Structure 1
Amino acid sequence: MGVADRLRDGVVIPAHPLALTADGEVDLAAQRALTRYYAEAGAHGVAVGVHTTQFPLHADRGLLNEVWRLAAEVGAGRLLVAGICGDTADAVAEAEAAAALGYDAALLCPWGMSEVTEQALLERARAVGDVLPTIGFYLQESVGGRALSRGFWRELFDIGSVVAVKAAPFDRYRTNDVVQALLEHDRWAEVAVLTGNDDAIVHDLVTPARRTVGGRDREIRVTGGLLGQWAVGTRAAVALVARAAAAREAGAVPAELLATATDLVEVNAAVFDVDHGFAGCVAGVNEVLRQQGLLGSARCLAPEERLSPGQAERIAGVRKRFPGLLDEAFVAAHRDRWLGA
């Protein structure tokens, strides 16, 4: 099965965090432990070098390659998605390095570009697509994304190497722009749509998008995702995607599944630091893993990336309220083994 088929089949892909010690050094044992956690939780792959891995990592190509290599070794056999940053030349160099390590696809991230215009993004997508199958990325503005037109998405889908798009604007109107542009496109059945909307995971997974084009009915469904929130509670995420698939097959969405949607929003609000405009979103993911004992520190590369006041306490609160959604028992049972040599 090719990359595009695997992505359309319904995937759980956690956005892989970067494990740092309190002194700011990469914690290799914890880095491996995280990948082991995702693999044993049943994740279909991992995305490394993305926002949750911390975009500033791309400023140190050697360290980036080491982090990519560790994930590729531990996660062998699963889908490996490399977050690709920078202007075209740098992005192509990163894609070539990731391809050499066995990565299957490139997620096109806007960080590090000198000018984030639609034309620059399209030019970069074409160039990276000569190296690896590519995944478009609609990143919310509060963490470095920008608004993109339906015309942009139509042109992106014209690029044959684009196999998927991650919709993560945290905005229903903009998510709809992506889906409607794809529904209108000749490649509508070829390109997978992955949810990245951590505030609307269940809604994305169970809501069909339909349109009549040329007298024929078309339907697109989001069958999986690539998410920062799935860097925690990964085993629960795998079960959630299976529940959503069963609901789609049955043609009815149980009230219990919709209730889970609300619970996940509550978890996300704490982890992603909604109270402070997502300022502590990356540190929040790390803090969950630190409280669970998988990481020794919630530290991030950039000094401004830190927990907001009260965020650690709010995270502790959702861990108590929603232990099943955060894999509390599963992590506790296997953590020491994952952290072992």
Structure 2
Amino acid sequence: MENFDLRQRLHQGLAIPAHPLALNAQRHLDERRERALTRYYLAAGVGGLAVGVHTTQFAIRSPEIQLLKPVLELAAEEMDRCPRPLVKIAGICGQTYQAIAEAELLRSLGYQAGLLSLGALRSEPEEALIAHCRAVAQVVPIIGFYLQPSVGGRVLPYSFWRKFAEIENVVAIKMAPFNRYQTLDVIRAVMDAGRDDIALYTGNDDNIVADLVTPFEYQGKQRRIVGGLLGHWSVWTQKAVALLQRCQREPASPELLRLGQEITDCNAAFFDAAHGFRGCIAGLHEVLRRQGLLGGLWCLDPQETLSPGQLEEIDRVYAAYPHLNDDAFVTANRDLWLKD
């Protein structure tokens, strides 16, 4: 029954932010601000959260850091307090033995699905990747993840996604190659497999609106990307939820497409597109710091910070598109979210 409910909720089309990691100046977990972030997202009206993913920093799994379980626990506790149903997603990484252990952990903490990163298997052949995915799917429902190579992913051809779509316990796919050709490979593979029960989610932070309003037709069949699982939606989240709702109820229009380009311009600043996305996590932290939700830009890696000129780019888009931020909403509620 849980799988049926999960599929049904995912097909409704949800706004699912990728949850950042709140640290203090000593680069230790700031539990109060971590909880505040979760509360912010829930108050903004999201349909779920993805925790322990790229935006949460993969280094939380390092033996010397060991923050994966504490971070998953904090988010689960806050989500369990929410009166409405949420989809709880946790990232799964590593070689098969690690991925299975992480799948067992997230299941034990009440998470309903695992977002499966294949970054650790970048040199493995296609059949080994499919065997890996099948093994993890035996533990927990999985969400496929097409992560762009510049931030740790690999190119995954149509043939991989066609086989992946045959795995019974796949419930959704997050497409984040930041590439039109590769996004179409995934959609076509799912359609060719006849898997109407696999929900399609955009992770293309550079093309959010166009993904959400485009009908994809192929050989007499049609599919839509129903929602977003996005790092970009970890900031200005109340407006992101409203955007998804608008894309779901309105046909594509010049106004919506213009809005999409404005959002892409903001994403270029936040994600540091000018420098190959090196400052993407710090850029999101900067927006949350300005809103008072984070105390600083600290990442687990001291070298991970804003790129030259990125701060000025964030200033620019903040000034250019004031209608896209949710600063007033955050200001009105921040003290409540920050209460212990």
TM range (shorter): over 0.9
Name the structure 1 match of 2:282. Answer: 283
Give yes or no for contact 1:13–1:43 (8 Å, CA) kept in 2. yes
Name the structure 1 match of 2:35. Answer: 32
Name the CA distance, whole Å, in 1 between partners of 2:128 and 2:24. 36
CA spacing shift, 1:20–1:120, aligned 2, 3 Å: farther
CA spacing shift, 1:199–1:234, aligned 2, 3 Å: same
Instruction: Say which of 65, 68, 73 aligns to 1:69.
Output: 73
Name the CA distance, whole Å, in 2 between partners of 1:306 and 1:98. 29
Instruction: Say which of 202, 210, 217 aligns to 1:203.
Output: 210
For structure 1, the residue ranges without an aligned partner over 5 or more in a row are: none
2:90 maps to a residue whose letter is A
Name the structure 2 match of 1:49. Answer: 52
2:266 paired with 1:271: no
Name the CA distance, whole Å, in 2 between partners of 1:288 and 1:116. 37
TM-score, normalised with respect to structure 1: 0.94
2:186 paired with 1:178: yes
Name the CA distance, whole Å, in 2 between partners of 1:20 and 1:53. 11
Name the CA distance, whole Å, in 1 between partners of 2:120 and 2:25. 26
CA spacing shift, 1:12–1:116, aligned 2, 3 Å: farther
For structure 2, the residue ranges without an aligned partner over 5 or more in a row are: none
After superposition, residues 118-197 of structure 1 pair within 5 angstroms as 118-187=126-195, 189-197=196-204
Question: How far has the Cα of 1:22 moved from its partner?
Answer: 1.8
Instruction: Say which of 203, 211, 235 aligns to 2:238.
Output: 235
Q: Is the partner of 1:177 in helix, strand or coil?
A: helix
2:321 maps to a residue whose letter is F
Question: How far has the Cα of 1:179 moved from its partner?
Answer: 0.7
Question: How far has the Cα of 1:114 moved from its partner?
Answer: 7.5
Q: Is the partner of 1:324 in helix, strand or coil?
A: helix
Name the CA distance, whole Å, in 2 between partners of 1:153 and 1:283. 32
2:167 maps to a residue whose letter is I
Name the CA distance, whole Å, in 2 between partners of 1:120 and 1:57. 26
Question: How far has the Cα of 1:116 moved from its partner?
Answer: 4.4
Give yes or no for contact 2:16–2:230 (8 Å, CA) kept in 1. yes
Question: How far has the Cα of 1:277 moved from its partner?
Answer: 1.1
Name the CA distance, whole Å, in 1 between partners of 2:287 and 2:140. 33
Name the CA distance, whole Å, in 1 between partners of 2:24 and 2:313. 23
Q: Is the partner of 2:324 in helix, strand or coil?
A: coil
Question: How far has the Cα of 1:313 moved from its partner?
Answer: 2.5
Q: Is the partner of 2:165 in helix, strand or coil?
A: helix
2:71 maps to a residue whose letter is V
Give yes or no for contact 1:87–1:114 (8 Å, CA) kept in 2. no
- Residue correspondences, number: 332
Name the CA distance, whole Å, in 1 between partners of 2:89 and 2:136. 13
Q: Deviations over 1:103-156 (max 9, x none)?
A: 010000124447444333222211111111100010011101111111100110
Question: How far has the Cα of 1:183 moved from its partner?
Answer: 1.4
